[in-house]
């Protein structure tokens, strides 16, 4: 954590167990986004008398983008899954709350990373346990204190 907050600010080890917590938080968030997308799609299906069937493919990434952007840039600095597992996202330079642009970019880079799975291995060699999409978005995932 050379760039932003001292260990005293965030506790003794703000990176302890972050990788495992992130994976479980992701699973929870994917379930929550899926439920949200299903509810929106059913509502649209009823309101448009079936014409929204064409909206299904772009609906999931669109909802996931705003879900991550709005929740991470909010006052709790984490998605519901992240909050449940005790992690949050902060700006890497100064530890401040991530603005919507960075939070949404983080989500976009994360989902693009799924097309190149070996990219996730960057986290194993980075001293701060940051993934490539964290670096591109300028954020760090730390334990909530």
In a domain, 138, yes or no: yes
Angstrom distances, CA of residue 25 to CA of 5, 57, 73, 116: 23, 24, 17, 21
Comparing 144 with 101, the larger pLDDT belongs to 101
Does residue 132 lie within any of the structural domains? yes
CA distance linking residue 122 with residue 11, whole number of Å:
25
Residue 91 lies in a domain: yes
- What does the pLDDT read at residue 14? 75
Q: What is the DSSP code (8-state) at residue 109?
A: H
Q: What is the tally of structural domains in the chain?
A: 1
| 60-98 pLDDT tens trace | 889 999 999 999 999 999 999 999 999 999 999 888 999
Position of tokens 């509810």?
39
Q: What is the pLDDT of residues 96-141, one digit of tens each?
A: 999 999 999 999 999 899 899 999 899 899 888 899 999 999 999 9
Range(s) of the domain holding residue 26? 7-143
Q: Are 91 and 139 in contact, with CB atoms under 8 Å apart?
A: yes
- Is there a domain that residue 112 lies in? yes
**What pLDDT score was predicted for residue 57?**
75
In a domain, 2, yes or no: no
- Verdict on whether the full-model pTM lies above 0.85: no
* Residue 12: predicted pLDDT: 63
**61 located within any domain:** yes
Tell me how many degrees the CA angle 92-95-100 measures, rounded to the nearest 5.
Answer: 75
| Inside any domain, residue 1 | no
34, part of any domain: yes
């Amino acid at each position: 954590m050379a760039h932003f907050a001292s260990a005293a600010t965030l506790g003794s080890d703000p990176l302890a167990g972050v990788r495992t917590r992130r994976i479980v938080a992701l699973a929870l968030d994917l379930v929550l986004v899926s439920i949200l997308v299903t509810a929106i799609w059913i509502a649209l299906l009823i309101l448009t008398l079936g014409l929204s069937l064409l909206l299904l493919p772009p609906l999931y990434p669109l909802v996931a983008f705003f879900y991550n952007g709005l929740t991470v840039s909010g006052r709790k600095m984490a998605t519901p899954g992240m909050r449940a597992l005790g992690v949050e996202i902060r700006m890497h330079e100064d530890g401040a709350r991530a603005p919507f642009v960075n939070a949404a970019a983080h989500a976009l880079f994360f989902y693009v990373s799924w097309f190149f799975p070996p990219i996730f291995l960057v986290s194993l060699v980075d001293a701060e346990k940051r993934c490539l999409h964290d670096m591109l978005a300028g954020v760090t995932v730390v334990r909530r204190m």
